[in-house]
Amino acid sequence: MSGLLEIRNLRVHFPIGGGLFSKPKLLRALNGISLDVQEGEVLSIVGESGCGKSTLANAILGIQKPTSGKVLFEGKEIHHQRRRDIAERIQPIFQDPQSALNPRKTVKDLIAMPLRVRGAHSAKEIGRTVDEIMELVGLPQRLGHSYPTALSGGQRQRIAIGRALVTRPKLIVCDEPTSALDVSIQAQILNLLADLRAELNLTYVFISHDLSVVRHISDRVAVIYLGRIVELGPADDLLDDPLHPYTRKLRSAHLSTAPHQELPKPVFKGGFPDPTNPPLGCHFHPRCFDALEVCETHVPGSVRRGRSDVACHLYTGLGTPGDDMTEIRR
């Protein structure tokens, strides 16, 4: 089934470093991502920092060009369209509203900005729409002429959400939208996003490093590790009964804390690998307690288990000739 958003074998590679006497290294931020997002769905993308989540967000927003592969929105390649046209239908909400909002603009001006850029509306229409949006995101009218620096973190995130909604987009890419907020405010913003989704039939790609945040909002969850999806499935299945050893580790860290406590780092063998020189075979193998010999040399293909897809040799039918086992690549 194709979706509102279709991502096909997306690769984004960056050269980094390099000088007079050294060649640049290649960072494979995304290394063959394929996903479909259905209209009205919330798909979360989870992983540690440096796994490629924000690069994926930027590719969906049309900001980051793919090295290869495709991102299709309503069946059309995003990177063949004008940024302005894409921006009306796909909008971002970022982590830190403080840095995303111009401190010299008032709340109303900030929310109105995408409409003014579009230039197709009278001042009266813009005023009316901004009032509606403020109501929708729970900002009292009396704050309309305030500056963002005078407001709380939660109120600032409401402005950012309002601004994202003002062109009536279909898809919102939320990149860690609550991680800069206090825990009590996080829940309010998550509830607001859930309400808005229902009311406006929005679709979200929701990026987070925090499984507890993801559980409340997602229909499906994709876990990425070093630029590849390692597990993708319905949120309940993936969070209650994860299949991939990496997902299990992320989840056990999350389970070991009481609610509202800071998450401990998951326990892995070794640290996060150098993404410019990722381990051969399964990228996770040096940190995996279940690793098999084949994991060091062969990239696991993705296989279906129940309602989830998982890329791990514990499920690929290890050693079976003709399986996804013939490939040795980065």
Cβ distance to Mg ion smaller for residue 193 or 282: 193
- Per CB under 6 A, does 211 bind ligand SF4? no
Site for ligand SF4 in 136-155 (CB under 6 A): none
Cβ distance to ligand SF4 smaller for residue 151 or 312: 312
Residue 54 interacts with which of ligand SF4, Mg ion, none, CB < 5 to 8 Å by class: Mg ion
Cβ distance to ligand SF4 smaller for residue 185 or 280: 280
- Return residues touching Mg ion (CB under 5 A): 54
Residue 295 interacts with which of ligand SF4, Mg ion, none, CB < 5 to 8 Å by class: ligand SF4
Q: Which stretch binds ligand SF4 (CB under 6 A): 91-99, 144-152, 310-318, 322-330?
A: 310-318
- Per CB under 6 A, does 295 bind ligand SF4? yes
Tell me how far, at minimum, the Cβ of 292 lies from ligand SF4, in Å.
Answer: 5
- Per CB under 6 A, does 47 bind ligand SF4? no
The full 3-state SS of the chain, as one line of letters, equals: CCCCEEEEEEEEEEEECCCCCCCCEEEEEEEEEEEEECCCCEEEEECCCCCCHHHHHHHHCCCCCCCEEEEEECCEEHHHCCHHHHHHHEEEECCCHHHHCCCCCCHHHHHHHHHHHHCCCCHHHHHHHHHHHHHHCCCCHHHCCCCHHHCCHHHHHHHHHHHHHCCCCCEEEEECCCCCCCHHHHHHHHHHHHHHHHHHCCEEEEEECCHHHHHHHCCEEEEEECCEEEEEEEHHHHHHCCCCHHHHHHHHHHHCCCCCCCCCCCCCCCCCCCCCCCCCCCCCHHHCCCCCHHHHCCCCCCEEECCEEECCCCCCCCCCCCCCCCCCCC
Residue nearest Mg ion, Cβ-based:
54
Cβ distance to ligand SF4 smaller for residue 187 or 292: 292
Near ligand SF4 by CB under 6 A: residue from 182, 290, 293, 327: 290
- Per CB under 6 A, does 314 bind ligand SF4? yes
Cβ distance to ligand SF4 smaller for residue 185 or 318: 318
